[in-house]
Amino acid sequence: MNLSLDEKLSLVTGVGFWHTKSFGGKIKHLELSDGPHGIRKQAEGAQNNDSEPAICYPTASALACTFDTGIVGRIGDELGKESKEKGVSVLLGPGVNMKRSPLCGRNFEYYSEDPYLAGRMATSFINGVQQNGVGTSLKHFAANSQETHRMRSDSVIDERTLREIYLKAFEMTVKAAKPATVMASYNLVNGTYSTENKWMLTDVLRNEWGYEGIVVSDWGACTNLTKAIKAGMDLEMPDSFEVHKNALKKDLEEGNITEEEIDKAVYRILAAIEKYGLTDEEEAAYKAPTMEEFLAKESTKRRHELAYQASVGAGVLLKNEGILPLHPEDKIAVIGDLAVKTRIQGGGSSHINSGAYPTVLDCLKTHYPNLTFARGYDSMVLELDEVMEEEAAAVTKDAEIIVYCGGLTDLAEGEGYDRDTFKMPENQIHLIHKLMELGKKIVFLSFGGAPFEMECLEQFDSVLQMYLGGEAVAEAAVALLTGLENPSGHLAETWPLYMKDTPAYSNFASREKHVLYNEGLFIGYRHYNSRKIPVQFPFGYGLSYTDFEYDNLHVEKSEEGFLVSFTVTNTGNRAGKAVPQLYVRNFKGDFERADVELRDFTKISLNPEESKEVSFKLGPDAFQIYDVSEKKWVIPEGEYGILIGRSVEEIVLSENVYVEGVKDLSIPKPELTVSEEAGERFTITSSYAELSEYSETAKKLLDQTVEMFIQMFPGRGLDDPEVHMMLEMFKDGTADSTTLMSHGRIPYDTLYTIIDEANRNYNSGK
């Protein structure tokens, strides 16, 4: 394809919010759409949650709890088919960032605190989608661990921790699934923006891992297109209204970048367009269905059933004192606003416009038509309401069992901001204590995208955690409560007891620019298990309505490593699914290392008294660590344990093996180094919040923006999830991105004036 120089310069930056350029139909174009648990296809210029009807599957935090790569692959397949139907070229997902802290507001979009589990899930998802001729975008590369100051924060991490924890899931997925695109994240990594980080994008991603696809920026993450292309990024999104293109052209003229370097990006984009692109005529011919038309489709009904199956498989039974499953004759009172405002997903760029499906209360009424109900609290405020609490107490008068629906609300978590507390909302805490005083049996039906401190856990008779389980979550939850389905979900992350116990407690989500990952390798269960810290619920944990027995462990050495086999038997009286997990207990040498690490898992269905043999293959990578001094993966020679567990804390079978490798390996504990930027104090990568401290013009802009959001969303306060996200993006995003996304409301020349004003005042000590 012969493109002019101007067309090449135009191709590396998007047009509008969701497209690449076609130059009037000269070439095909890509249409990108948010995901990953559904398709958020939007017309250009549409508001955040104004998107086409689509299936809403369980979020990644829920899907990972299935420990079932098969159903994740089936969801990927259906999302690929639905994307094809909607004319979507690239679905933006999945997210494999590690859950460094349970307070990250976007944790519901990520699979796990464990890179192996996340990598397996992402691989199945991508293979499912891309077999339909639709691309994916593996994100957010890399170490995007918090939403606070997400476009300005610098993740300071030693290389071994990066390799073994924060890059590992990306490496696994890139090699096994070959995603069409990898999305460079907002944040800096060790002093360099991800979009400009040559070590990550070229040295590691392309040269070491062999990646051949597109690197696309997160939306607004690219502020210097020249540096980004030289580092290995190909496509900036969204449209920067020729501001960045003109800067790139100037740099080309001045010799700061070559046309050959630009050509590399252009060729990769053209290759993706050839494989996944649409013609302008194909896009113009597409007509979006109405919600009524969408819901009437047979494919919608089929996909809803898949969403139900996935949600059933994701539900984690955390506690059961014999009260579940519920019996038909039980007298039930349902308490909680989430029973009628059932949370199916999180807020932000992944918000899906699904149909109106039954709530928890609707579904329970089909089993218990005479149940009583009271909201008890308002999920859209934090303050308690005594009248609502009194009503809740009153409706439980004749009930034997209270089904309490609660957990994290939309106010508590969402994209663009982190949670400010590990506790449940205050109005729920107060209500729970009131309910406990009634002396009734209580089942806690819990929703939320991440762990939280579960109030009065020891006094609940049963706890069923549904995470954010998609459009069918209410149907799935009630099927699990009533025994129509048997719980089989297992936690893909640790639920700590207290926030102070978490590994990043002292250095997470501060508003400081440099975020030091002092905990190193020890995140999630690696931290709690190695340091013997008690938790609410451990990684891999989940109960069932039946029992499973594990025996006959055999470990046999092979050419590739070890063959591990054992038998699982259903010793209960009903069919169920077991989740055997293989951990390796690591050799302890002269270096830091977690005590145990997940190295394989599966999910198997068993009828009563049925037995099945499970086999795992362990290769050399199960024992490797990264030797920074030698710049390679090595195996420390020594004795390792092969462990089979129901969870990381409940090991039921074990055998020790000797593994050959590097003897007497010594790796010193790393020291973190902070890189400071040279030059003026304020630049286009500063935020308007920072600029407003030294610029009266920036301060006025911030005040005007707050007023604008209030007018844009009448009746919705600044703590509304969508408003909160947008306001945080304006305040804490790079001024470059915020200015461009204002669509001309803030002229770019005004930004330069503000920067000059701020630097003058800063330098003069004002």
pLDDT digits (tens, 9 = 90+) for 582-622: 999 999 888 999 999 999 999 999 999 999 999 999 999 99
Distances (CA, A) of 396 to 365, 428, 429, 526: 16, 17, 18, 43
Tokens read off for 186: 């907002």
- Output 746 or 201, whichever has higher pLDDT: 201
Q: What is the DSSP string of 578-600?
A: E--EEEEEPP--BS---SEEEEE
The confidence score (pLDDT) of residue 93 equals: 96
Q: Which CATH superfamily is domain 544-659 in?
A: Immunoglobulins (2.60.40.10)
Check residue 1 and give its pLDDT.
64
pLDDT at 43: 84
pLDDT of amino acid 205? 98
For 308-319, write each residue's pLDDT tens digit: 999 999 999 999
Q: Judge contact between 639 and 618, C-beta under 8 A.
A: no
> Quick one: the chain helix, strand, coil %, rounded to 5?
35, 20, 45
Tokens of 573: 């009286």
Q: How confident is the model at residue 531 (pLDDT cuts 50, 70, 90)?
A: very high
465 vs 76: CA distance, rounded Å: 24
Mean pLDDT, to the nearest integer, of 404-411? 95
Question: For residue 646, what are the contacts with CB-CB under 8 A and spacing of at least 6?
Answer: 540, 541, 548, 550, 579, 580, 581, 652
Tell me how far apart the alpha carbons of residues 13 and 367 are, in angstroms, rounded to a whole number. 55
How many other CB atoms are found less than 10 A from the CB of residue 747? 11
Q: Where are the alpha helices (DSSP H) in 400-503?
A: 426-436, 473-482
* Average of per-residue pLDDT across 142-150: 92
What's the rounded mean pLDDT across residues 422-426?
Answer: 96
526-534 average pLDDT score: 97
Task: Give the helix/strand (H/E) hosting 612.
Answer: strand 611-618
pLDDT for residue 355 is more than 80: yes
Residue 21 binned pLDDT confidence (cut-offs 50, 70, 90): very high
Per-residue pLDDT of 30-68, as tens digits, reads 999 998 999 999 888 776 678 899 999 999 999 999 999
Q: Exposed/middle/buried for 483, CB within 10 Å: 0-12, 13-18, 19+? A: middle
The pLDDT value recorded for residue 721 is 76
Print burial letters for 445-471: b (CB count within 10 Å at least 16), e (below 16).
Answer: bbbbbbbbbbbeeeebbbbbbbbbbbb
- What φ, ψ does residue 159 adopt, rounded to 5°? -65, -40
pLDDT of residue 333: 98
Instruction: For domain 5-30+90-145+167-277, give the fold.
Output: TIM Barrel (3.20.20)
Model confidence at 253, in pLDDT bands (50, 70, 90)? very high
The average pLDDT across 133-154 equals: 94
**With bands split at pLDDT 50, 70 and 90, how would you rate the model's confidence at 485?**
very high
105/765: higher pLDDT: 105
Query: Does residue 510 carry a pLDDT above 80?
Result: no
pLDDT in tens, 665-723: 999 889 898 988 778 899 999 999 999 999 999 999 888 887 887 777 777 777 777 77
- Over residues 286-302, mean pLDDT: 95
Determine the pLDDT at residue 394. 97
Q: Which fold has domain 306-528?
A: Rossmann fold (3.40.50)
What's the pLDDT band for 387 if we cut at 50, 70, 90? very high
Q: pLDDT by residue (tens digit) across 434-446?
A: 999 999 999 999 9
Q: Strand, helix or coil at 550? A: strand
Both structure tokens of 23: 């130059």
Residue 453 clears pLDDT 90, i.e. is over it: yes
As given in the structure block, the two tokens for residue 47 are 């508001």
User: What mean pLDDT value characterizes the chain?
Assistant: 95
| 251 assigned to active site | no
Q: Where are the chain's structural domains?
A: 5-30+90-145+167-277, 306-528, 544-659, 688-763
Query: What is the C-alpha to C-alpha distance for residues 667 and 160, in angstroms, rounded to an integer?
Result: 10
Please write the tens of the pLDDT for every residue from 716-755: 777 777 778 888 888 889 999 999 988 888 999 999 999 9
State pLDDT tens for residues 223-233: 999 999 999 99
Average pLDDT score over residue span 107-118: 98
Cβ–Cβ < 8 Å for 102, 152: no
Sign of CA dihedral 603, 604, 609, 610: negative
> Which entry of 34, 77, 158, 218 is annotated as an active-site residue?
218
pLDDT at residue number 397: 94
Give yes or no for residue 125 having a pLDDT over 90: yes
The share of the chain scoring above pLDDT 70, in percent, equals: 100
